[in-house]
Amino acid sequence: MHTNVSSRIIDLEADLEGFGTVYFHPKAMANILSLKDLRTRHEVVYDSKKEDAFFIKNGANVLKFKANDQGLYVYRPDQKYLDLIQKKNNQNAGVCLLGSLKKRKEGFTQKQMTRAKRACEFYHMVGAPIATKLKMVLKQNLFQNCPVTVDDINLTEKIFGPDVSSLKGRSTRPKPNQVVDDKIEIPTELLQKTKRWS
């Protein structure tokens, strides 16, 4: 598969609920389904006059693949669909999705949320350093009269997770596979013989 980030070989297969066998990569964020394969298994409806989205009828359910900013058609499961899959599978098995911010905020007080937001703003004001380094600086009290504490930074990590902007700047591209040149040099005697016949 070739993308704007890199190329990778996808040779593993998995069973996707309600679809069948698909290619997948354990480190990829999403599965890519071909429209051709979808059409053979389900009824697919697309009406650009109504909405820029594909509607796939999966039994009684209708799955909506809506176009994102990059022009890819993406399906994001709603709670109703997740509950349906949860009933089908055992309570322990099944679906693993990234938690939303709303879900992460549960269990924290309004005061803790305010402290976490303030710490997040402070983090960006000082240039978004690595969290461990910022905690070390706060412990050494290098910022005088700083309202943000190490506990506030820990709260920010629990609620908002790792900062995306700093991850983008510090994550490295995986090392590509070495290209092997497997050209065979043709002997000059053989080249001369072929020139005579042509």
Which DSSP string corresponds to 108-171?
--HHHHHHHHHHHHHHHHTT---HHHHHHHHHTT-STT----HHHHHHHHHHH-S-HHHHHHHP
Strand partners of residue 18: none
Distance between CA 194 and CA 198 in Å, rounded?
A: 6
Q: Which residue has the higher pLDDT, 116 or 165?
A: 116
Distance between CA 8 and CA 25 in Å, rounded?
A: 9
pLDDT at 66: 85
pLDDT at 93: 45
The residues near 52 (Cβ < 8 Å, ≥ 6 apart) are: 66, 67
The full set of domain ranges for the chain reads 12-88, 101-170
pLDDT at 148: 92
pLDDT (mean) for 160-165: 73
CB atoms under 10 Å from CB of 146, counted, come to: 13
pLDDT in tens, 163-192: 766 666 666 677 778 877 778 888 888 888
3-state secondary structure of 104: helix
Tell me how far CA of residue 169 lies from CA of 109, 131, 153, 163, in angstroms: 32, 14, 20, 10
pTM of the full predicted structure?
A: 0.38
pLDDT in tens, 62-108: 778 888 877 778 777 666 656 665 665 544 444 444 455 666 777 78
pLDDT in tens, 11-66: 677 776 666 677 777 666 666 777 777 778 788 888 888 888 888 887 777 778 88
Q: Tell me, what amino acid is at 86? A: Q
